[in-house]
Chain A
Amino acid sequence: MFAFIVSRVLQALPVMLVVAFISFAMFAYVGDPIAIMLGQDFTEAQRATLVRDLGLDQPFFVQFLKFVGNAVQGEFGLSYRLGRPVSDLIIERAPATLELALVAAFLALAIGVPMGVYTGLYRNSWLSRFFLTFSLIGVSLPTFLIGILLILIFAVWLGWLPSFGRGDVTRLGWWSTGLLTWTGLKALILPAITLGLFQMTVIMRLLRAEMLEVLRTDYIKFARARGLTDRAINFGHALKNTLVPVITVAGLQLGAIIAFAIVTETVFQWPGMGLLFIQSVGAADIPVMAAYLMLISAVFVTINLVVDLLYFAVDPRLRIGGGGH
């Protein structure tokens, strides 16, 4: 078990290094940081000083190592666009995105899983057909359109919920949360639904497919042949077997949610990392892009690791390290 964790962590390192390399390559070859930082007129002397200060005259490999070293400590330099330390910007914005992502993920799972199981078990009920139609539309609706529609209905026409911003937030140390204030909660609703809807439908359809697949297996047939109750078959045997592959997908979905936060934050002007990223893409603000990239990769790699561990815990076949004798 321990060996497993270690090996997976070791496998994750090359991935992070590749990402770091790509991020750094962006720095080195894309755009001219000197020009961006100094503006239009600068003297040769100023340029030479800046080059020396930033270490741009060092060999490639040395610069890369320095970059990685800094990155590990959370130091990503200054934003070209805003002139502030990137790490500050990220810490400021991270709670907004994380809170949104977690609430959206929770919604997606809490609604998607039961809906998926239901439509798998009771294929022909009208409720199932309704859920399926709903999910099909959900998969075909882009996130931003959902956001726009929700804003149109609930903010413009009905005026119940705000259409942008986070509302009032309470600061807890370096974290800021909107969950403790009324306006914060109201502001969270529409973005969370927008972000979670797509994933909810994906999870639902996946669970349904898995459920149908499992219900056709030999061991379910045998369970029926043994006269076990429907409850034992559906919720004891079928459900447990369905959940195993769903774990991976749920984990990957969390990653997708964090990525799609970019879109949702743009629509709702939510002050999170996604909005920061988009603004930096538009302005060719490399340090922010690089930092976001590294951070997101670290998050994804961690999620994958946790998912693998969960798999291990749930499926006994993996624990003994391979088949019977």
Chain B
Amino acid sequence: MAALLEVRNLRVEFPTRRGILTALDDVSFSIAPGEVLGVVGESGAGKSMTGAAIIGLLEPPGRIARGEILLEGRRIDNLPYADMRAIRGRQIGAIFQDPLTTLNPLYSVGRQLVETITTHLPLNPAEARKRAIGWLEQVGIPAAAQRIDAYPHEFSGGMRQRVVIALALCAEPKLIVADEPTTALDVSIQAQVIALLKALARDKGTAMMLVTHDMGVIAETADRVAVMYAGRIAEIGPVREVVRHARHPYSSGLMGSIPPLDRRVDRLAQIDGAMPRLTAIPQGCAYNPRCPKVFDRCRQDRPDLMDAGPTRAACWLYDHV
């Protein structure tokens, strides 16, 4: 099946006065229609940056220095503003982290929905309003027909995020980029919202790129997962394989640091050291200073993603040539 979204050798740079900061370095992956790809990693690894690059909302002076982003085979990274605007919302939707700041406090929820619908779909306001009520019902807002004229501050946090989900989906995009959609919510609400997102995506056949640092969410929701480190993909593969049998030393360190529920541990496992600053990435493999399995080649040459069984990992351990 042809990929819905394909990212090839993406490089995102920020010129700063201390030199060029490489936020994303040669990132490549693809998402099939209806698939959920999880993207995990520490803060600053480049997860959100990837999402921003895909929807074309990189903050200046950040820019795409190299590489391509293709949606259904068509390049979207170099489109003029007007064309990209037509794609945003209609082909690719976005969900951000904090539902309180994502919604305009001065406009009713209904108005924001209707506005989005009428921008992309040929419906008149009355029809758009009916659609909007329908969407509110689908995301689980009770008494949708009355609540549609309410303002964002009149909803609780979980309800607000449901409204955001409705807004992201109401123009019926093929792909959703969700950046930490549950991080700002109460733990008890998180599960509900994730379940909703998963169900809706499955229902409409919408693909999703789910960016988060919460492995639990990934394990629940994703089909495949990409682990990012220092602006590069360390490992990518089916979620079961990456979680249970991670091949890349960083991924296995990451999975290992999650405390298990089924037995008692006296010390939490952790990875020594910290992710390098993006202006000072070491030569060779970015992980080499912290890697327990490091050898000479790791410090010299940078590994590309290579086959490591059921997953692909950027690690010289799996170099079969």
Contact = CB atoms under 8 A, between A and B. Distances in A.
Interface string B227-255: 00000000000000000000000000000
B88 A222 contact: no
Contact of A218 (B88, B93, B98): B98
A129 interface: no
Contact of A222 (B94, B106, B153): B94
Nearest to A315: B106
Interface stretch (A138-146, A237-245, A252-260): A237-245
Nearest to B89: A227
Interface stretch (B34-42, B114-122, B275-283): B114-122
Interface stretch (A41-49, A105-113, A261-269, A317-325): A317-325
A73 interface: no
Contacts of B106: 240-241, 244, 314-316
Contact of B93 (A221, A225, A236): A225
B136 to A, nearest CB: 16
Given A316-B151, A324-B155, A324-B156, A222 B103 contact: yes
Given A219-B104, A240-B106, A229 B55 contact: no
A269 B286 CA distance: 76
A237 B116 CA distance: 13
Contacts of A244: 106
Nearest to A224: B57
Interface in A288-325: 314-317, 320, 323-325
A325 B93 contact: no
A320 B87 CA distance: 37
A223 interface: yes
Contact of B102 (A218, A227, A232): A218
Nearest to B98: A218
Nearest to A217: B101
A218 B155 contact: no
Interface residues of A, number: 27
A124 B284 CA distance: 41
B201 interface: no
Given A222-B103, A237-B107, A227 B85 contact: yes
A171 interface: no
Contacts of A320: 153-154
Contacts of A222: 94, 96, 102-103, 164, 167
B193 interface: no
A241 B93 CA distance: 24
Interface in B178-226: none
Contacts of B120: 227
Given A219-B103, A219-B104, A317-B153, A226 B55 contact: no
25 contacts: A218-B102, A219-B103, A221-B96, A221-B102, A223-B104, A224-B85, A225-B88, A225-B96, A226-B88, A226-B93, A226-B119, A227-B90, A227-B116, A227-B120, A228-B119, A229-B119, A230-B85, A237-B107, A240-B106, A241-B106, A316-B105, A316-B153, A317-B151, A317-B153, A325-B154
Interface of B: 55, 57, 85-90, 93-94, 96, 98, 101-107, 115-116, 119-120, 151, 153-156, 164, 167-168, 171
What 8 A-B pairs have minimum CB-CB distances, sorted nearest first?
A227-B89, A227-B88, A225-B94, A218-B101, A226-B89, A219-B104, A222-B102, A316-B151
